[in-house]
């Protein structure tokens, strides 16, 4: 089975960079994006010696299931200087690099908040969300080891806009390549 999967993987000709750069949330791919984010977050958790919460992230039957959170509130007028128009704003707001997973209650409570308010709450959530806040980098040697091991540079952001979404998407591309690559068949 492993050899068959390896052959299939090698013939796939899947361009991760192109795919993730053009991946944005819509009604058709919501569950797949949730799965992708859940898997990536769980991988980081395992690598930083935290319990993996994949099952919790994907479980929609709980009272407080995890949901996809838009880092940027749906207020184009707050970002008018960064985006060409509302269509450009919506496209970037829904890109994979502009999304997180948060418990439903937290997501609802943050709904229309500005990033500067949201990022404080993010620091109390999963490692991927908390990495937006500089507090996550203090006294966190396992997270530092993880970044060094895979040569992945997370960075905190004091503001979040188009440039940060592009950077965060590149970060996800690197993480994707660490998790899913030809070595998984070794």
In this prediction, residue 11 carries a pLDDT of 81
Average pLDDT over residues 119-140: 92
Window from 18-27, 33-42, 127-136, 175-184 with minimum mean pLDDT: 175-184
Smallest Cα–Cα separation from 100: which of 66, 70, 135?
Answer: 70
E strand segments, the chain? 66-70, 99-103
């Amino acid at each position: 089975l492993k050899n068959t999967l390896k052959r299939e993987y090698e013939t796939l000709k899947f361009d991760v960079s192109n795919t993730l750069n053009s991946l944005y949330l819509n009604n058709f791919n919501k569950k797949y994006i949730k799965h992708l984010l859940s898997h990536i977050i769980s991988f980081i958790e395992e690598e930083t010696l935290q319990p993996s919460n994949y099952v919790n992230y994907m479980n929609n039957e709980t009272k407080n299931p995890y949901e996809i959170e838009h880092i940027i509130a749906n207020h184009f007028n707050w970002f008018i200087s960064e985006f060409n128009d509302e269509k450009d704003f919506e496209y970037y707001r829904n890109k994979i690099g502009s999304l997180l997973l948060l418990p439903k209650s937290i997501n609802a409570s943050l709904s229309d908040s500005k990033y500067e308010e949201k990022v404080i709450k993010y620091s109390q959530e999963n490692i991927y969300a908390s990495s937006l806040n500089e507090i996550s980098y203090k006294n966190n040697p396992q997270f530092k080891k993880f970044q060094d091991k895979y040569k992945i540079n997370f960075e905190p952001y004091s503001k979040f806009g188009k440039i940060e979404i592009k950077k965060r998407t590149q970060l996800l591309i690197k993480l994707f390549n660490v998790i899913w690559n030809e070595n998984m068949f070794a």
